[in-house]
Amino acid sequence: MKSIYDKTVDVLMFREGSDEDSNSRAPIITTGSIVWGVLLRATIVLIAFFFLMDSIRGNDYWWVSLFFIWAFVAFPAYRQYEKYAKRIESFAEETLCGSCKHFNKGGQSCNIYDEHVSKDYIPCEGESWEPY
């Protein structure tokens, strides 16, 4: 299991989830982790930019912060969400849980059993499966 430090480094280094994530018991990349990464990166960028502008007295260049927010916050989050959506789409097609009405795509979990689902693990073993 990864430590909190490793997870923080993954978020800050823009490491994206891979196909192996869907085989693990708990997914590494979810919509919540993407939002958390956006908030963390935005906070870091804004604080760093605030100190940079204060130190060089560059109040006329505040608009440059928009570029940094796009380059280091919004675009990586968008790219990460696209990859996550593709992975969830293929996961939903390949597993029984993907066609169940109790499957939560945002958290890759079962709403009834409140457990994460993987290709090798179905919480209800198919007994509580209900189609859309």
The model's pTM is 0.75
Q: What is the pLDDT of residue 15?
A: 64
Q: What is the pLDDT of residue 37?
A: 85
Q: What is the pLDDT of residue 21?
A: 54
Q: What is the pLDDT of residue 47?
A: 93
pLDDT of the chain, 132 residues: tens digit per residue: 567 887 776 766 566 655 555 456 677 778 888 888 899 889 999 999 888 888 887 777 778 888 988 998 999 899 989 988 998 888 888 888 888 999 988 888 889 998 888 888 888 888 888 887
| Burial profile 82-120: b = 16 or more Cβ within 10 angstroms, e = fewer | ebbeebbeebbeebebbebebbeeebbbbeeeeebbbee
* d(C-alpha 65, C-alpha 62), whole Å: 6
Q: What is the pLDDT of residue 74?
A: 92
Q: What is the pLDDT of residue 11?
A: 66
Q: What is the pLDDT of residue 22?
A: 47
Answer whether 130's CB lies under 8 Å from 119's CB: no
Answer whether 32's CB lies under 8 Å from 107's CB: yes
